Amino acid sequence: MTATTYARLLSRARTGGPRDGDGPKILEHVLGWTLVVVLAVFVTRAGLM
């Protein structure tokens, strides 16, 4: 790999991903735990556990 090829690889535009999303982390945690609780209630009510 030449220096030019390596420089091209480093200069590529990012397509997004976890590092680009600096949104409200607390909201993600609250919604995630809410989903866990709702799923647990559903499983318990359905008699699956």
pLDDT tens-digit profile, the chain (49 residues): 576 766 666 666 666 666 655 667 888 999 999 999 999 999 999 987 6
One-letter amino acid for residue 27 of the chain: L
In angstroms, rounded to a whole number, what is the distance separating the alpha carbons of residues 44 and 49? 6
Residue 9 belongs to some domain of the structure: no
Domain containing 35 equals 23-49
Residue 28 belongs to some domain of the structure: yes
Yes or no: say if 41 and 47 are a contact pair by the CB < 8 Å rule. no
In angstroms, rounded to a whole number, what is the distance separating the alpha carbons of residues 37 and 12? 41
Residue 8 belongs to some domain of the structure: no
Residue 39 belongs to some domain of the structure: yes
Residue 35 belongs to some domain of the structure: yes
Residue 29 belongs to some domain of the structure: yes
Domain count, the chain: 1
Yes or no: say if 43 and 49 are a contact pair by the CB < 8 Å rule. yes
Residue 10 belongs to some domain of the structure: no
State the pLDDT at residue 22: 60
Residue 47 belongs to some domain of the structure: yes
